[in-house]
Amino acid sequence: MQLNNLLDEINIILPWDSALENDKVGLQIKVNDGEVRKILVTIEVNDEVVDEAIIKKCDTIVTFHPLIYYPLATITETERASRICIKLIQNNINLISIHTTFDVYSKGTSRLISDKLGLVFEDFLVKHPKFDGYGLGVISKFPEPVSAKNFVEILSDIFLSPVRFCNGKHNKIERVGIIGGSGSSYLDLAISKNLDAFVTADVSYHKFHQAKDKILLADLGHYEMEVFVVSGLTDLLNNILNRYEDISVISSTVHTNPVNYYPEGNFVENQKKLLVNY
pLDDT at site 230: 97
Q: Which residues of 213-230 are buried (b: 16+ CB within 10 A; e: fewer)?
A: ebbbbbbbbbbbbbbbbb
**Cβ-based burial of 106 (10 A; exposed 0-12, middle 13-18, buried ≥19):** middle
State whether CATH 1.10.3720.10 applies to domain 3-101+228-272. no
| For the chain, percent of residues with pLDDT exceeding 90 | 85
Task: Calculate mean pLDDT across residues 113-124.
Answer: 97
pLDDT of residue 33: 79
The pLDDT tens digits of the residues spanning 131-177 come to 999 999 999 999 999 999 999 999 999 998 889 999 999 999 999 99
**Nearest-angstrom CA–CA distance, 247 and 103:** 25
Higher pLDDT, 17 or 274: 17
Q: Residue 89: what are its φ and ψ, rounded to 5°?
A: -65, -40
3-101+228-272 and 104-225: identical CATH topology: yes
Q: How far is CA 101 from CA 21, 83, 121, 150, 257, in A?
A: 11, 26, 19, 32, 21
What CATH number was assigned to the domain covering residues 104-225?
Answer: 3.40.1390.30
Across the range 236-245, mean pLDDT stands at 94
pLDDT exceeds cutoff 80 at 32: no
How far apart are the C-alpha atoms of 199 and 181, rounded to whole Å?
9
Domain ranges of the chain: 3-101+228-272, 104-225
Q: What is the mean pLDDT of the chain?
A: 94
Using pLDDT thresholds of 50, 70 and 90, give the confidence band for residue 263. low
Give the C-alpha separation, 26 to 3, whole Å.
11
Dihedral, CA atoms, 228, 231, 233, 237, nearest 10 degrees? Answer: -170
Mean pLDDT over residues 1-8, rounded? 95
pTM, two decimals, is 0.93
The helix/strand/coil state of 275 is coil
What pLDDT does 271 receive? 74
pLDDT of residue 150: 97
In the chain, where does DSSP find H-type helix? 3-13, 47-55, 80-90, 100-103, 109-116, 148-159, 187-192, 205-211, 222-226, 229-240, 267-274
pLDDT score of 265 = 65
Query: Looking at the predicted structure, is the pLDDT value of residue 234 above 70?
Result: yes
Over 80: is that where the pLDDT of 276 sits?
no
